[in-house]
Structure 1
């Protein structure tokens, strides 16, 4: 990504969120703090980009951390239980940050992507929420996705955007308890997917790593 484009995208985010640019590149604190070591405990294969079929899409844990923290700041996700759910979702959906486009099964689903493998319809809504975002062809799902993944802040920001704009208060309240029941309801009733052993493994790692206090 060209430096000028990155700075322009960050400036758009700073204006939209009314937050200092320094915060948006990962200067988290308190409940908004995440380390590379913590992320590697959740997604151990994110240490390097070795083994990825689409190297240009890959981000290491070290590269991902500031953008994940930025998304929590931008969308006000301060609950550690919610953060754990978002991180585990992204880790699974992106193959531990190896991908930001749907490729599987080949040829994949055009226009589906970002780090939580968001559908084209939701990507269009997400893009519309970013003031000043330039899209070559707003009616083309791939063009919308191109604009989103071109900026890491937007690429990693979609999971937090989805949680805070598409999930009900009931879903979020349940998720904030850190309980398995709350997490499962988030997956089935908001994300629209099923609970699998792989998803549960990532979530359990995230809950443990972030020291989430579980309540009923």
Structure 2
């Protein structure tokens, strides 16, 4: 009986030693590096004009820094834009295109269907609207035909701040090459200009640079 008890005790000890180490907590539930939120204070530090919509030419289109910060943070989470370099570029891009978040439609010269905070051209607006509102909604909007149809498609993605501000994050995550995104992550002026010329397919206009320099400094300082 004594021998039997010893054997049982030894077996229990061995099984205890061999017990598997508990798994680490689920990373999805406990993210090590959650997407950092953009704050209204950061946006006003980058572009003081975003503090208020006072005097906006089209008040119904204007979003102040508080609205923009909430919408941009949601977009960065949705499209997993987690690096300071990419976040800064998107903020700078939208600030320039929307005149400090004062517009979400093209008014000069007034091109039908062009808009969101990145002033996307109608073909990209349609792609984006299809992604966030669905193909059926886009087909129904286009049924109006002509300029009315283009504007109806734009309305699908301008109906709330999250969609309107989310356009550039969607664009970067779906339309830009890996090399362009790597340049944005690096946070270099060369990477910023490559984004403009190779992905946006516009010129590297020096007037775009101040917003990028300011956004890069503020966003990187916060991370």
CA distance in 2, matches of 1:203, 1:67: 19
Residue pairs, 1:119-138, within 5 angstroms: 119-132=121-134, 134-135=137-138, 136-138=140-142
TM-score normalized by the length of structure 1: 0.80
The correspondence of residues 164-175 of structure 1 with structure 2, limited to 5 A, is: 164-175=173-184
Structure 1 residue 42: deviation in Å? 1.3
Q: How far is the alpha carbon of 1:153 from its aligned partner?
A: 1.2
Q: Which residue in 2 is equivalent to 1:192?
A: 201
Which residue pairs with 1:24 in the alignment?
A: none
Give how far 1:131 is off: 4.8
Native 8 Å contact 2:64 2:101 kept in 1:
yes
**For residues 152 and 175 of structure 1, what CA distance do their matches in structure 2 show?**
24
Deviations 1:87-118 (A, max 9, x none): 0000110010000000013xx11000000000
The residue aligned with 1:80 is: 84
Which residue of structure 2 aligns with residue 109 of structure 1? 111
Instruction: Tell me if structure 2 keeps the 8 A contact 1:42–1:206.
Output: yes
SS in 2 for 1:103: coil
Q: Indicate the residue corresponding to 2:23 in structure 1.
A: none
Q: Distance in 1 between matches of 2:205 and 2:168?
A: 19
Q: Distance in 2 between matches of 1:151 and 1:85?
A: 22
| TM-score in terms of structure 2 length | 0.78
Q: After the TM superposition, which segments of 4 or more aligned residues of structure 1 sit over 3 Å from their partners? A: 131-136
Structure 2 distance, partners of 1:212, 1:79, is 12
> 2 CA distance for matches of 1:212 and 1:65?
17
Q: Which structure: larger Rg?
A: 2
CA contact (8 A) 1:31 1:80 kept: no
* Alpha-carbon distance, 1:167 to partner: 0.3
Q: Does 1:43 align with 2:39?
A: no
Verify the 8 A CA contact 1:178 1:212 in the aligned structure 2. Answer: no
Cα shift at 1:212: 6.3
Deviations 1:129-167 (A, max 9, x none): 125584552351100111211121111110000001000
Question: Shift of residue 31 of structure 1?
Answer: 4.3
Unaligned 5+ runs, structure 1: 1-18, 20-28
Change (3 A) 1:89 1:37: same
* In 2: Cα distance, 1:30 partner to 1:42 partner: 23
Question: What is the CA deviation profile of residues 158-200 of structure 1, one whole-angstrom value per residue up to 9, with x for unaligned ones?
Answer: 0000001000111101111001101100000000111223210
Separation in structure 2 between the aligned mates of residue 131 and residue 88 of structure 1, nearest angstrom = 26
> Pairwise CA RMSD of aligned residues?
1.9
Q: Distance in 2 between matches of 1:43 and 1:192?
A: 24
